[in-house]
Chain A
Amino acid sequence: GAGVSQSPRYKVAKRGQDVALRCDPISGHVSLFWYQQALGQGPEFLTYFQNEAQLDKSGLPSDRFFAERPEGSVSTLKIQRTQQEDSAVYLCASSLLVGGHEQFFGPGTRLTVL
C-alpha cells in the first residue's frame, strides 16, 4: 500500500489478556518505530528497528511489552498480561533512512483494557 497500515484499528481486551498489534510499514523503509499515545498527550517513543534489528527498546514501559520485526518489514508489538494503564493508542511509524528524521505514521491501534 501507499502508506503505513496498522491492524486492528481497535482492540478491547480484558485485564490479563495478551494482545498483538501489527504494523505494515511503507515498502522499502529501513526504520520502524513504535509509539504509545495516551489521551490528550503527544506520542511517546517505545522502540526502534533498523531492518530486523531492534536497536533501541529504552521506551518500553515494562517487560510485558515485546516487539519484533523478524524479516525487516512487518512488525508486531505484543503486550502480555494487559493492565488498564496500557490503554492508549499505539502508533507505528516508518522512515526510508537509517534513524529516520522524517517519519510516516500509521493510523494507530486504539487499545482499551477493561
Chain B
Amino acid sequence: GQQLNQSPQSMFIQEGEDVSMNCTSSSIFNTWLWYKQDPGEGPVLLIALYKAGELTSNGRLTAQFGITRKDSFLNISASIPSDVGIYFCAGIYNNNDMRFGAGTRLTVKP
C-alpha cells in the first residue's frame, strides 16, 4: 500500500524559531494535506495542495507539494506556544482514500 514516512517524529524548539517537517512516500499522490491535532480533538486541516510544485501559505505556515508528487514539506515560521501539537501529513491517491503519516509532535518552549 501507499505508506507515508513523516519526519522528524518529534521536535523541541524555542519560541520564535522556525520549524520544518516533511513527508515522503515511494508512491505518487494527487493531493497532499497537512493537519494539526490537539489532545482529545480531531485533526484540523491547515493547508491543502493540489498540484505538483505548488507552494501555499496560510499565515506563518508554508507548505509545498513536491515536483515528483512523492513528498511534501511544512514550514512554520516564528513559532509560538500555541503551535504545540501533533502535525500530520496526508496524501490522497484516489478520491476517497486518504493516507496519513505517523505525525510530528511539536513542543515549543517559551
A56 cross-chain contacts in B, Cβ below 8 A: 96-97
Query: Using a CB-CB cutoff of 8 Å, which residues 1-48 of chain B contact chain A?
Result: 4, 6, 31, 33, 35, 40-45, 48
* Residue A98 interfacial (CB < 8 Å): yes
Interface stretch, picked from B53-61, B77-85, B99-107, is B99-107
Contact with A along B67-92 (1 / 0, CB 8 A): 00000000000000000000010101
User: A102 to B42, Cβ gap below 8 A?
Assistant: no
Contact with B along A76-104 (1 / 0, CB 8 A): 00000000000000010100001111111
Q: How many residues of A contact B (CB 8 A)?
A: 26
User: A98 to B97, Cβ gap below 8 A?
Assistant: no
Contact with B along A22-43 (1 / 0, CB 8 A): 0000000001010000001111
User: A45 to B98, Cβ gap below 8 A?
Assistant: yes
Query: Using a CB-CB cutoff of 8 Å, which residues 34-63 of chain A contact chain B?
Result: 40-45, 48, 55-56, 58
> In the complex, A103 Cα to B6 Cα: how many Å?
20
Also in contact, A33 and B96, with CB within 8 A (given A102-B45, A106-B42, A107-B41): yes
User: A40 to B102, Cβ gap below 8 A?
Assistant: yes
User: A42 to B102, Cβ gap below 8 A?
Assistant: yes
Q: Which of A41, A91, A98, A100 contacts B42 (CB 8 A)?
A: A91
**Residues on A facing B (Cβ under 8 Å):** 4, 31, 33, 40-45, 48, 55-56, 58, 91, 93, 98-108
List 9 contacting pairs A-B, 8 Å CB cutoff, sorted by A: A33-B96, A41-B102, A42-B101, A45-B99, A56-B96, A98-B95, A103-B98, A105-B42, A105-B44
Kindly list the 10 A-B residue pairs having the minimum CB-CB distance in the complex, ordered from nearest. Answer: A105-B42, A42-B100, A99-B95, A48-B96, A105-B43, A42-B88, A43-B100, A106-B42, A91-B42, A107-B41
